[in-house]
Structure 1
Amino acid sequence: MPPTPHTPVSRRLARLAPVALLAAGLTAVTLTGPAPAVPTADSQRAAATVGAFGKGQPSGVVVRRGPSREVGMRFSPKVDGKVVGVRYYKPLAWKAATPRSATLWSAKGKVLARTSIKPVAGAGWQSVRFSSRAKLTTGKLYVVSVHTRTKGIHAATPDGFAKGHSTAQLRVPRGRNGWTSVSDKPTFPTSQARGDANYWVDVRFKPGTSTQDPTPTPTPTPTPGGWPGPDNTGVPAGTVLAPYTGPCTITSARTISGADVLSKCQDALVIQTTGVVIEKSLVPGVWSIYGDGDSSVTITDSDVRAGAVSTAGIWGYNIKASRVDVTGGQHSFQCNNNCEVTDSWLHDQHNPDGGSFHNNAFISNGGHTMVVRHNTLHCTSILNSTDGGCSGDLSLFGDFDPIDDVTIDNNLFKANNSSISYCLYGGASSSKPYQATNVRVTNNVFERGANRRCGVYGPVTSFDSNASGNVWTNNTWDAGGAVTPSRG
């Protein structure tokens, strides 16, 4: 029998050690990373350059560890232009996972540009800039690489170069294209990658000969079918944030637009009234918990950076959120009653070493009237030594009140085979005092991940198809095929 949601994570995983614990030095993850918290001048310049891979979530990412090494790839420009810097995919939030340096090389190993990299927290695509630009010639081969720190942490996708990559400006040849060398200092990578892996090191290439950075254009509203992520959630690119001068506890209706609230209100923005609107802003946690339902907030096109708190990034009653990028907090979004979250990216929850949080991207411990539609839901925490880890991407638990009237439609449930028991808990757990009714789960996609099950035990549990008003329709795996619910 599968465990209850609050069984210590380490005990759950012990039963599936061959699945959950891979060979030493290779840990399976499917991580996404946060967009930059504030659109800095350098991130705006990055938006004006092009790369070989785009800015979406890399597929099939694993985390490799070991001795310090250089990792990178070969590429050639299809047009003349200049390289202004490097992009690299950082698979873990630890600062120790930050590379030490980035280098652009000629095909014969001559250094054309190099920069050191300061340790940064957070996972996902990161950008660095060279102090001078390196001019490239159409059709010639070049190598771009980063040098890892002492733990040797870097991202890799095995067989990532089984197919070539090509854009209008850049070409990455097929096969024998991932390169590495073990070294204590930056060195030209000369060994072919194990399994022809893609290490997700990319260039920031500016076609043509202009030395001016064009004005970046705002991020468009996401189109149907495109999953929310770093390119279509959060503060739109090019937005200039002004210092926030208002209160951190809001007691009268107001609109906060284009503001850096996080610098002033580092713990949370507490809503104690109705009619509050937040748009295109950088905010800490947003809590609408006043008077058991006497507050409300609408938040759009914003970054929520909840940080190291043991509560949720967005939490409470009467909340409407759209195109938000939420990181930090024990949970990304915790709903009591009357919540709607759409077109948003919930990821990278807080679970420190030594902690034992049970994380979720979206959770309700009892409540009614919820809509969760077209989001990327990703509980990213990895099992730690003190039973800390994920419960699920989305969890409905009847702990304090019945769960009722919930729409879960057209979401991407991301895999986490190292921590999540199930990607979805449907509210029908026999260990809870209240059971769920009128839960409609439709048109969702479940990522299989490394163990092909989304979670450690499977994609979904605690969903009672016979309960009043419950519906399960057209929920599929990312590679095709129906996902079948389980009562558990």
Structure 2
Amino acid sequence: GTGEPSPGASACTSPGACGYPDADSTGPRIALERHDTGNMSIRKNGTVIKGWDIRGSLDVYADDVTIIDSRITSTNWWGINLRPGHSGLKVLHTTITAVPGKGPDNGGVNYAVSNMGGSSVEVGWCDISVFGNALSMGQGDLHDNYVHDLVAFRNQGGEWQHTDAVISGGGNKGRLTVRHNTLLNATPVDKGATAAIGLFADTGVVSSVVVEDNWLAGGAYTLYGGGPGATGIRVTGNVFSTQYHPAAGAYGPVTAWNAGGAGNVWKDNRMSDGRPVEPAP
């Protein structure tokens, strides 16, 4: 990126020009060594993977695992997956991508980072592309990431896979924080676009989510806000970009916002051209 936005800047031209993550501020900072791991399981607590250029995926059955300054090119369902009962995963300064047409879901790939555990994971300064539902979790700390170039695909059921840069299915016990990311979903609506951030009550009520100071673009709607029953959703200081659609998303910037929900806050959100964004009543 090229630094912070000027105070009170009303219009922004690109994520990097406005201080948001892009290819220059994410991914590995050191030279990498190639590792053809294939689909590998990590079973030792405290494992650190650093400086690896991985051909394969990582399935984490351990606590306090760190993947840092690495690159993952997966042809599995996920790039990195944390299994139930495990905690402490950190994925930092890493590029996570896949090979379009080579994934297991009818050629598609589903999750760059998936948190199947019941506790938070940290994903920071990562460059993420291709995966249909890139960051999939109900609790975590997602910050300073660049999610872009999601690839549409028809899944094994023959339907266009719904695509989201960040997706949460609800029922979470902990907090999901989405702060200072660039989250792009350029997928056309007729090929499965859902959202840049999709908070859905698929497996339970959505609660305790912070969406703060992100650059968001694309989707049918750019943000799905959790729907009826959602509580503790704070959406503040985000930029909704017009780079794919005049209204940020094909149909608008936001839907499914529960204005009356306890602890729900909508504040200081604007379009990239400076217009304020308010949810429909």
Is the TM value for this pair above 0.5?
yes
Q: Does 1:250 align with 2:34?
A: no
Q: Distance in 2 between matches of 1:450 and 1:394?
A: 15
Opposite residue 356 of structure 1, the aligned amino acid is: W
SS of equivalent residue, structure 1 residue 340: strand
Name the count of aligned residue pairs: 248
Could you say which residue in structure 2 is the equivalent of 1:365?
Answer: 169
Q: Which runs of 4+ in 1 moved over 6 A?
A: none
Could you say which residue in structure 2 is the equivalent of 1:410?
Answer: 213
The answer as to whether partners of 1:269 and 1:286 remain within 8 angstroms in 2 is yes
Q: CA deviation at 1:272?
A: 0.8
The answer as to whether partners of 1:271 and 1:296 remain within 8 angstroms in 2 is no
Could you say which residue in structure 1 is the equivalent of 2:7?
Answer: none
Could you say which residue in structure 2 is the equivalent of 1:232?
Answer: 25
The answer as to whether partners of 1:326 and 1:345 remain within 8 angstroms in 2 is yes
Could you say which residue in structure 1 is the equivalent of 2:123?
Answer: 321
Q: Which runs of 5+ in 2 are unaligned?
A: 1-11
SS of equivalent residue, structure 1 residue 240: coil
Q: CA RMSD in A?
A: 2.5
Percent same amino acid among aligned pairs?
28
SS of equivalent residue, structure 2 residue 193: strand
Could you say which residue in structure 2 is the equivalent of 1:464?
Answer: 258
The answer as to whether partners of 2:199 and 2:224 remain within 8 angstroms in 1 is yes
Q: Distance in 1 between matches of 2:175 and 2:232?
A: 10
Q: Distance in 2 between matches of 1:223 and 1:274?
A: 34
Q: Does 1:282 align with 2:71?
A: yes
Q: Distance in 1 between matches of 2:202 and 2:237?
A: 27
Opposite residue 92 of structure 2, the aligned amino acid is: T
Q: Does 1:389 align with 2:188?
A: no
The answer as to whether partners of 1:460 and 1:485 remain within 8 angstroms in 2 is yes
Opposite residue 169 of structure 2, the aligned amino acid is: N
Q: Distance in 1 between matches of 2:86 and 2:128?
A: 24
Q: CA deviation at 1:225?
A: 5.3
The answer as to whether partners of 1:271 and 1:295 remain within 8 angstroms in 2 is no
Opposite residue 440 of structure 1, the aligned amino acid is: R
Q: Distance in 2 between matches of 1:255 and 1:279?
A: 8
The answer as to whether partners of 1:286 and 1:315 remain within 8 angstroms in 2 is yes
The answer as to whether partners of 2:98 and 2:109 remain within 8 angstroms in 1 is no
Residue number among 180, 185, 196 corresponding to 1:374 in the alignment: 180
Q: Deviations over 1:385-404 (max 9, x none)?
A: xx422101001001112211
Q: CA deviation at 1:244?
A: 3.1
Opposite residue 244 of structure 1, the aligned amino acid is: H
In the TM superposition, 1:295-444 aligns within 5 A as 295-307=87-99, 308=103, 309-316=108-115, 317=117, 318-336=120-138, 338-352=139-153, 356-366=160-170, 367=172, 368-383=174-189, 387-414=190-217, 416=218, 420-429=219-228, 435-444=229-238
Q: Distance in 1 between matches of 2:125 and 2:244?
A: 28
Q: CA deviation at 1:355?
A: 5.2
Opposite residue 277 of structure 1, the aligned amino acid is: T
The answer as to whether partners of 1:306 and 1:312 remain within 8 angstroms in 2 is no
Q: Distance in 2 between matches of 1:270 and 1:259?
A: 16
Q: CA deviation at 1:347?
A: 1.6
Q: Distance in 2 between matches of 1:472 and 1:392?
A: 18
Q: Which runs of 5+ in 1 are unaligned?
A: 1-57, 61-221, 430-434
The answer as to whether partners of 1:348 and 1:380 remain within 8 angstroms in 2 is yes
User: Which one has the bigger strand percentage?
Assistant: 2
Q: Distance in 1 between matches of 2:245 and 2:92?
A: 35
Q: CA deviation at 1:296?
A: 3.5
In the TM superposition, 1:471-486 aligns within 5 A as 471-486=265-280
Could you say which residue in structure 1 is the equivalent of 2:86?
Answer: 294
Residue number among 446, 449, 455 corresponding to 2:249 in the alignment: 455
Q: Distance in 2 between matches of 1:422 and 1:245?
A: 38
The answer as to whether partners of 1:302 and 1:323 remain within 8 angstroms in 2 is yes
Q: CA deviation at 1:245?
A: 7.4
Larger Rg: 1
Q: CA deviation at 1:333?
A: 0.4
Opposite residue 329 of structure 1, the aligned amino acid is: F
Could you say which residue in structure 2 is the equivalent of 1:150?
Answer: none
SS of equivalent residue, structure 1 residue 440: strand
In the TM superposition, 1:47-62 aligns within 5 A as none
SS of equivalent residue, structure 1 residue 275: coil
